[in-house]
Amino acid sequence: MPPNPGAWLTVTARNRALDRLRRERMPAEKTRLLDAPRNMEETNETTFPDERLELIFTCCHPALGLEAQVALTLRALGGLRTEEIARAFLLPEETMKRRLARAKRKIRDGELVLLADQDRSRWDAAKIARGALALERGRALQGRGVYLLQAAIASLHMREPCDGPRIAALYGELGRLTGSPVVELNRAIAVAEAAGTQAGLELVDRLDLGGYRYFHSTRADLLRRRVAEASGSR
């Protein structure tokens, strides 16, 4: 029995009420972040807030099993505490704490492996074949939407050597549909591969993406290539 039962009950009730209010408010706030317009022409946004990306990748990351995805989603989207998630899974709190920590470590961004440096023999050939079949089905249905164009670009990247001019053309079509400067940045990379570093760099320098970190890394890489090309031609 606490020394002052009345005060203890008041404090406990207040804390429980605050927890409930936070839990009820959290899903609404997180859902608002995910409620992006379906048509990119309706918004001037060209980059996603980091928190929205965190939610998307937490819910969908293929490296995680279903239970780990659910647990992390309850944590990030639902705002539940570890002890509450553990209770929902009928697990000790320490067990759930370790499980969440392992899941976070598993999906944490490591060293980037560029496409040219990847070991293609380790790619999942069966999944690639299923993707190609789905793409052909979409083409047969005369689809020309954003997702089909993205799938077509990904399919071309699966081939070796990559068809740079075709990839650049598809990015151009995708850019006309979306009006996204991020798509234009990707087109510039494809143009650099197909028509030379300088051509890609000229496209990059036209973009207003100073707040987008991949803009700076792309421009830096193209400048590095141009210096290397100039050194090699002397």
DSSP 175-195: HHHH--HHHHHHHHHHHHHHH
pLDDT number for residue 58: 64
Residue 196: CA count within 13 A, CB half-sphere: 7
Residue range 56-65: average pLDDT? 72
Query: Which stretch of 30-39, 140-149, 183-192 has the lowest confidence by average pLDDT?
Result: 30-39
Residues 182 and 136 in one domain: yes
Residues 95 and 178 in one domain: no
Residues 102 and 157 in one domain: no
- Domains held by the chain: number: 2
Domain assignment of residue 42, yes or no? no
Residues 143 and 229 in one domain: yes
Domain assignment of residue 72, yes or no? yes
Query: Does residue 86 carry a pLDDT above 50?
Result: yes
Residue 176 belongs to domain spanning: 121-233
Residue range 5-10: average pLDDT? 81
Domain assignment of residue 165, yes or no? yes
Domain assignment of residue 41, yes or no? no
pLDDT number for residue 136: 92
Query: Does residue 178 carry a pLDDT above 80?
Result: yes
Identify whether the C-beta of residue 175 lies closer than 8 Å to the C-beta of residue 182: no
176 vs 211: which has the higher pLDDT? 176
pLDDT number for residue 110: 65
